[in-house]
Structure 1
Amino acid sequence: MDTDTGTRWLTEEEQRAWRTHLEVTRLLVHQLERDLQPFGLTMNDYEILVNLSESDGRRMRMSDLAAATLQSKSRLSHQVTRMEKAGLVRREHCDSDKRGLFAVLTEHGWDTMREVAPHHVASVRRHFVDLLAADDLAALDRALRPVADHLHQRRGKP
């Protein structure tokens, strides 16, 4: 590589860590997606269900849900439309803001979440958590927390 550009190229060790991170992220997300397929869900669907299930009244403003799931408002709208057709969520108008919409978890969505969550947690354990020692998990959390904090700040979120 041309080192006269002022670019701080990655060392072999940094490159190896970066590429391992990318490989694990891609493979893990792919496997978790595969494990959700029998339930007719994608990771995006599951993430939306989780956010709604953990929200007050099992509802969130669409703009807040888009921010929480790192989706554009347009992409989220298409996703929610698909999930509405499946009976998992519904939209409700916001009384205080006529332009605002809420995504609301339906009873069917709540039942689906309760059915799928144990399988998803088992998948996360099988393909991630149980493969690492407890001290390695703690070290991984400590190592990645500054990166997550930095990226949240870049998005303007605490």
Structure 2
Amino acid sequence: MTAPTTSTTRWLDEDQQHSWRQLLRGSAKLFDDLNRDLEEQSGLSLSEYEVLVRLSEAEGRRMRMSVLADELVHSRSRLTHTIRRMEAAGLVERSSCPDDRRGVNCTLTPAGFARLEAVAPGHVESVRARLVDRISPAQLRQLGEIMATFIEDAPADEA
């Protein structure tokens, strides 16, 4: 008879597993619905909209591509594909960084800014209907606080 192997895996209990699956299903549904609403209203994906927002808030409406990728939590290759589509539509322009030839800047065009201004009210209404108005202000604050923990660096023993 062989001795049972010991596992160091800390399995999720029933309540933890339920909460984990609710997070997976709820976040997927929320972002799918928001993306669908945005595409139906404007022809923009949620990723494209977020690029427009980030650029509109940046100094000179310009950001280095690597910083933009980090801000959006996208891979650089995924962002490059998104920016290529947006550039073809005249919403953004890419240019070399003047202080670092290896770097690439992305700049919001006037047409891109106008598109954002036209689309933003509908998107905000969608966010309100699908999230903000469905939970209490305290729950929304708590959700923001919870999600902020995932933005911070992982503890040293998990990194």
State the TM-score, normalizing by the size of structure 1. Answer: 0.87
Find out whether 1:64 has 2:67 as its counterpart: yes
Find out whether 1:142 has 2:145 as its counterpart: yes
Shift of 1:130: 0.4
1:79 & 1:142 partners in 2: Cα distance?
A: 29
SS in 2 for 1:48: helix
Shift of 1:3: 9.1
Shift of 1:22: 0.7
Summarize the Cα distance change of 1:146–1:77 in structure 2 as closer, same or farther, 3 Å threshold: closer
What's the CA shift string for 1:109-155, capped at 9, x where partnerless?
A: 000111111111111110011000112222323333323324599xx
SS in 2 for 1:9: coil
Aligned CA RMSD, in angstroms, stands at: 2.2
Q: How does 1:6-155 map to 2 (within 5 A)?
A: 6-38=8-40, 39-150=42-153
Work out the number of aligned pairs and report it: 153
Q: Which has the higher helix share?
A: 1
Summarize the Cα distance change of 1:141–1:3 in structure 2 as closer, same or farther, 3 Å threshold: farther
SS in 2 for 1:98: strand
Summarize the Cα distance change of 1:148–1:104 in structure 2 as closer, same or farther, 3 Å threshold: same
1:50 & 1:82 partners in 2: Cα distance?
A: 16
2:75 & 2:148 partners in 1: Cα distance?
A: 24
Larger radius of gyration: 2
Summarize the Cα distance change of 1:151–1:115 in structure 2 as closer, same or farther, 3 Å threshold: farther
- Identity percentage of aligned residues: 42
2:155 & 2:50 partners in 1: Cα distance?
A: 18
Deviates more, 1:81-90 or 1:62-71: 62-71
